[in-house]
Amino acid sequence: MAKVEKLLNEERRRAILELLNRDARVLVTDLSTRFATSQITIRKDLEVLHAQGLLHRTHGGALTVQSGALIDPSLQEKEKLHRAEKLRIANAAVRMIEEGQSIILDSGTTTTTIARCLRGHRNLTVITNAVNIAAELANADIEVLMTGGTVRRNSFSLVGPLAEESLRQLSADVCFLGVDGFDTKMGLSTPNLLEAKVNRVMVEIARRVVAVCDSSKFGHRSLSHIVPTSAIHDVITDKRISKHDLQALKDAGITVTLV
């Protein structure tokens, strides 16, 4: 019996790794349902795989090892992940925007999707540090303001003192902030120090701050802290967010939109 149980454990853990390699993250609740076993057993599986260096354990689930705090994937790599969720998040974000407003879009694939959804709008001002977002809106009937700064090749974003100083001369109604990590206790984070500093100024100059991120970003910390959770007014994410993280956001007084 012990040998059979060990074999089943190994088979389940191999299957978990296959799912992780396909989706880049797994959730304890989903795995428990899929394998018809308790969440305690799944947590033990994840701890064993984490100890073997095969995944990165997070609250409520696990990420691939490549999803660690220092990893800074390119925009092209990020574009391939969670496309359906990003489109739903972008459509919900656009519904929050009113005519005549000035909005900030930081660099990232979710905010790029928002920009694409804005191309048919008028009487808006978009402030961005993302070269690709400015290009997306170049032919739209929207005023686009770009920061100065040094171009980061990974994200097509402008960072550094010039970017920060130009932002401090402006104010915005809404800032849509895409992030790489959102730990509800620590706050929002990104792998790059310079990107974090620019994001921080964006939050400072906006009257309303909306975090736009798919649920895979929760329970994950990147290298550079941007702002605490308390600095965020709204979160738009998908319905796969864990109950724990969802409750933590609500307890912090944040309005959450699930798509």
pLDDT digits (tens, 9 = 90+) for 20-49: 888 778 899 999 999 999 999 999 999 888
Instruction: Say yes or no: 176 and 251 in one domain.
Output: yes
pLDDT at 71 over 70: no
Cα–Cα distance list, 70 to 132, 163, 238, 245 (Å): 23, 23, 25, 23
CA-CA distance, 96 to 112, in Å (whole number)? 16
Q: What is the pLDDT of residues 154-195, one digit of tens each?
A: 788 999 999 999 999 999 999 999 988 999 998 999 988 899
CA distances, 132 to each of 38, 112, 158 (Å): 45, 8, 11
pLDDT at 59 over 80: no
Question: What is the rounded CA–CA span in Å between residue 20 and residue 49?
Answer: 11
pLDDT of residue 66: 56
* Cα 63 to Cα 65: distance, rounded to the nearest angstrom: 6
Q: Which of 12, 42, 67 is the last residue of a domain?
A: 67
Quickly state the pLDDT bin for 52 (edges 50, 70, 90). confident
Same domain, 151 and 86: yes
CA angle 29, 32, 34 (to 5 degrees): 110
* pLDDT tens track for 108-126: 999 999 999 999 899 999 9
Print the domain residue range for 248. Answer: 75-258
Residue 216 confidence (pLDDT): 87
Query: Based on the domain organization, do 241 and 150 belong to the same domain?
Result: yes
β pairing state of 61-63 and 56-58: antiparallel
In this structure, are 80 and 201 located in the same domain?
yes
Sheet holding 25-27, edge to edge: 25-27, 61-63, 56-58
158 and 211 within one domain: yes
Q: Are 145 and 199 within one domain?
A: yes
**What is the average pLDDT value for the chain, to the nearest integer?**
89
Predicted model pTM: 0.73
| Total count of domains within the chain | 2
- Beta-carbon contacts of residue 96 (< 8 Å; ≥ 6 apart): 174, 210, 234
What value, to the nearest 5°, has the Cα angle with vertex 217 and ends 62 and 102? 180
Q: Are 171 and 102 in contact (CB under 8 A)?
A: yes
Exposure string of 137-165, with b = 16+ CB inside 10 Å and e = fewer, is beebebebebbebeebebbbbbbbeebbe
Residues 94, 21: one domain?
no
Number of H-type helices and E-type strands within the chain:
10, 15
d(CA 83, CA 110): 9
Residues 224-246: what's their mean pLDDT? 95
Of 44, 67, 90, the residue that ends a domain is 67
Pair 91, 179 in one domain: yes
Tokens of 142: 């929207």
pLDDT score at 104? 98
pLDDT at residue 98 is higher than 50:
yes
Final residue of a structural domain among 37, 67, 97: 67
Residues across the chain: 259
Same domain, residue pair 58 and 97? no
Q: How many CB atoms lie within 10 A of CB 3?
A: 7
**Domain co-membership, 150 together with 24:** no
Answer whether 242's CB lies under 8 Å from 61's CB. yes
Are 30 and 112 part of one and the same domain?
no
- One domain for residues 63 and 137: no
CATH code for the domain in which residue 83 is found:
3.40.50.1360
> Looking at the predicted structure, is the pLDDT value of residue 70 above 50?
no
CATH number at residue 12: 1.10.10.10
